Amino acid sequence: MSGIVHLVGAGPGDPELLTVRARRLLDAADAVVHDRLITPALLATIPPGVRRYAVGKEGGRPSTSQADIAALLIRLAHGGADVVRLKGGDPFVFGRGGEEAIALLAAGVPFDVVPGVSAGIAGPAAAGIPVTHRGVARSVVFVTGETDTTAGGGPVDWTAVAGIDTAVIFMAGRSASTVAAHLIAAGRDESTPVAVIVDATLPAQAVLRLDLGMLSRHGVGRNGGRPTMLVVGDVVGLGAELAGLGFKAGVREAPRLVNDELTVVA
């Protein structure tokens, strides 16, 4: 008898931002197949005896292939397991959940999708930055900072991105300076405010505020492999305003240069 696979969004990192349905499914699962960005605090809440499979990817390092992940999900389900495929954020926002859904459908494996709170919204919010704001920004775009296009989809249209009020760039730690340079070349002013958010929603969250020109010149280093996103646009100034009113978001007011790279690591 075939089992089922639940493609579950774990939210941006803080275990308390997990949805009620995701919590219920984790508590009843036979197996959990999880990404690298799932926090240890969340993994610790999985009941004892549940089989766990770490299949996380990390840019530039050997990782479990997408084909192997799909094969594992299919094998577990065909063995009758109730499987939670646990992904950071939302499974359909840079989570490759669509690819896994297609593979499961082709294999005849029942599945469902449990949306999660996307880091693209929650990360800026935790830093006091609304991605839209009346009179400041009425449009927002989510973009990957990964520059490898070998998986398909082609390069990012930076000219189109530059025309959107707020740009949220995921997975941008290694490519921050390149992303900034692309946006400037596409017409975005060098003085445009930028927030660099590391470990969004977690106790170690850190936020660095600067402008696009400085980011293009120095980048942000690798920050020890910590998840890093950029928020580009005038809404970043609202985060500074909220911080001035007492909102605590781990903001580092003075950018530091380490080996000629900016860093948000204390």
Tens of pLDDT, residue by residue over 99-156, are 999 999 999 999 999 999 999 999 999 988 999 999 999 999 999 987 654 455 678 8
Q: Contact 265/225 with Cβ under 8 angstroms?
A: no
139 phi and psi angles, rounded to 5 deg = -145, 150
- Residues 95, 129, single domain; the answer is no
- Residues 131, 71, single domain; the answer is no
Per-residue pLDDT at 266:
46
Per-residue pLDDT at 249:
61
Among candidates 133, 213, 150, which has minimal Cα distance to 176?
213
Q: Contact 117/123 with Cβ under 8 angstroms?
A: no
Per-residue pLDDT at 1:
67
Task: Give the Cα separation of 240 and 235 in Å (integer).
Answer: 9
Write out the DSSP string of 148-176: --TTTT----HHHHHTSSEEEEES-TTTH
Residue 75 has pLDDT above 50, yes or no: yes
- Residues 109, 136, single domain; the answer is no
Tokens matching residue 136: 């400041």
- Residues 107, 126, single domain; the answer is no
Among candidates 32, 76, 71, 74, which has minimal Cα distance to 54?
32
From 71, 94, 114, give the residue that closes a domain.
114
- The number of folded domains in the chain is 2
- pTM higher than 0.85, yes or no? yes
Residue 59 has pLDDT above 80, yes or no: no
- Residues 137, 102, single domain; the answer is no
Within a 10 A sphere around the Cβ of 220, how many other Cβ atoms? 27
Higher confidence at residue 251 or residue 23?
23
Over pLDDT 90: what percentage of the chain?
67
Task: Give the Cα separation of 158 and 181 in Å (integer).
Answer: 10
Q: Domain range spanning residue 35?
A: 4-114
Residue 69 has pLDDT above 50, yes or no: yes
Q: Given pLDDT bands bounded at 50, 70 and 90, which one contains residue 57?
A: low
Supply the angle between the helices 66-78 and 97-106 in degrees, to the nearest 10: 50
- Residues 136, 178, single domain; the answer is yes
At 94, which amino acid appears?
F
- Residues 126, 93, single domain; the answer is no
Among candidates 212, 222, 218, which has minimal Cα distance to 174?
222
Task: Give the Cα separation of 208 and 195 in Å (integer).
Answer: 6
Within a 10 A sphere around the Cβ of 113, how many other Cβ atoms? 18
Task: Give the Cα separation of 2 and 212 in Å (integer).
Answer: 52
Partnered with residue 89 across adjacent β-strands are 11
